[in-house]
């Protein structure tokens, strides 16, 4: 079964039949994880807004383990995660999208593994390639199809390195220079440990990232939430169309 994890700008889905709301209890949180089961024709999938339905949970407070465990309990085997990111790479313009193939984790103080030596014995996963290549190809193919039927064509970068920072604040200009030197193309706050937890539970996982602003120090204009939301409003129409196409192909 396919799951869509929505981030900033995608806390709900339109254009699908809502079949039921689901609340899953896991061993990793007191509160239940709330998800929605959607249908589209003969297709079904699960939608999880990682920040909560009302977008009140900041990136560093998200219970990633509970979220991924709940999806696994529902039988999810594939995840397409939507991430809003800041652009570091010069040709990754705000308003365009990317399907990253690598990541570097700069976050801290998060529960990063199911195999923590307490609830489960220590186990080391192979994370050489953090994203599922098969899911990446499906996202890219879906984006290509959407662009072929749209009057407005969105640029989609077919690779890239995602830098995951702690948040909730945005980065300093010096931090972005460091990330650029490390080879990062984009920066966000929610890519980890979401990706590695999915790998631990053998769930195929990939990201569809929307560039919503230039990262700190790469533009003379200050970063404002108003500008970010304007880009989100425009880009989420394309993201939603890609999700519809992915669901139809699943």
Residue that wins the pLDDT comparison between 10 and 87: 87
Residue with tokens 């061993």, as numbered in its chain: 27
CB 239 within 8 A of CB 98: no
Residue 69 token pair: 């465990």
| Whole-structure pTM value | 0.93
Average pLDDT over residues 221-243: 82
Give the span between the Cα atoms of 82 and 73, in whole angstroms: 21
The closest of 34, 47, 35 to 2, measured between CA atoms, is: 47
Read off φ and ψ for residue 249, nearest 5 degrees.
Answer: -85, -15
Q: How confident is the model at residue 221 (pLDDT cuts 50, 70, 90)?
A: confident
CA distance 60 to 14: 27
Across the range 211-239, mean pLDDT stands at 84
Q: What is the pLDDT of residue 236?
A: 81
C-alpha span between 209 and 207 (Å, rounded): 6
CATH of the domain at 23: 3.40.50.1580
Report pLDDT digits (tens) over 86-112.
999 999 999 999 999 999 999 999 999
pLDDT in tens, 111-132: 999 998 777 778 899 999 999 9
Structural domain that includes position 151: 2-249
Number of domains forming the structure of the chain? 1
Angle among Cα 190, 67, 87 to the nearest 5 degrees reads: 15
- Indicate the pLDDT class of residue 8, thresholds 50, 70 and 90: low
Alpha helices (runs of H) in 46-132, residue ranges in sequence order: 64-73
Q: Find the Cα–Cα–Cα–Cα dihedral 167, 170, 173, 178, rounded to 10°.
A: 30
> Which of 59-73, 199-213, 221-235 is the least confident region?
221-235
CB 23 within 8 A of CB 8: no
- Give residue 14's pLDDT band: very low, low, confident or very high (50, 70, 90): low
Those residues whose C-beta lies under 8 Å from the C-beta of residue 184, and which sit 6 or more positions away, are 88, 104, 161, 162, 163
Res 12: pLDDT: 60
Mean predicted confidence (pLDDT) in 194-218 = 96
Q: Provide the greatest CA pair distance for the chain.
A: 54
Highest mean pLDDT among 48-57, 137-146, 211-220: 137-146
pLDDT reported for residue 13: 66
* Percent of the chain surpassing pLDDT 70: 97
Any residues with CB less than 8 A from the CB of 191 and at least 6 apart, and which? 81, 83, 100, 103, 105, 162, 164, 207
- Taking the C-alpha atoms of residue 117 and residue 120, their distance in angstroms, rounded to an integer, is 5
Q: What is the pLDDT of residue 201?
A: 97
The pLDDT value recorded for residue 54 is: 73
Over range 153-168, report the average pLDDT. 94
Asked if residue 15 has pLDDT above 80, the reply is: no
Which pLDDT does position 235 carry in this prediction? 82
d(CA 236, CA 83): 11
Higher model confidence: residue 47 or residue 232? 47
Q: What is the pLDDT of residue 10?
A: 63
Q: How far apart are CA 14 and CA 52, in angstroms?
A: 17
Predicted local distance difference test score (pLDDT) of residue 9: 57
CB 69 within 8 A of CB 196: no
Q: Which residue has the tokens 């569809």?
A: 208
Neighbours of 117 (CB within 10 A): 9
């Amino acid at each position: 079964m396919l799951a869509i994890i929505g981030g900033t700008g995608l806390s709900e889905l339109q254009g699908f039949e809502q079949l039921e709301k689901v609340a899953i209890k896991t061993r990793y949180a007191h509160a239940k994880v709330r998800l929605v089961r959607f249908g589209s024709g003969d297709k079904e999938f699960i939608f999880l807004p990682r920040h909560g339905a009302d977008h009140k949970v900041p990136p560093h407070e998200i219970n990633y383990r509970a979220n991924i465990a709940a999806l696994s309990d529902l039988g999810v085997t594939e995840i397409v995660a939507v991430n809003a990111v800041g652009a570091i790479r010069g040709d990754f313009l705000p308003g365009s999208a990317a399907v990253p193939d690598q990541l570097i984790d700069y976050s801290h103080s998060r529960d990063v593994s199911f195999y923590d030596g307490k609830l489960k014995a220590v186990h080391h996963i192979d994370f050489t390639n953090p994203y599922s290549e098969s899911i990446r190809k499906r996202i890219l193919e879906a984006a290509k199809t959407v662009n072929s039927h749209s009057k407005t064509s969105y640029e989609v970068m077919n690779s890239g390195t995602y830098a995951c920072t702690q948040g909730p604040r945005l980065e300093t200009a010096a931090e972005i220079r460091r990330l650029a030197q490390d080879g990062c193309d984009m920066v966000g706050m929610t890519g980890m440990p979401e990706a590695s937890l999915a790998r631990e539970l053998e769930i195929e996982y990939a990201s569809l990232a929307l560039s919503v602003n230039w990262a700190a120090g790469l533009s003379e204009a200050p970063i404002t939430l108003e500008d970010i939301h304007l880009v989100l409003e425009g880009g989420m129409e394309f993201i939603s169309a890609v999700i519809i196409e992915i669901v139809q192909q699943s």
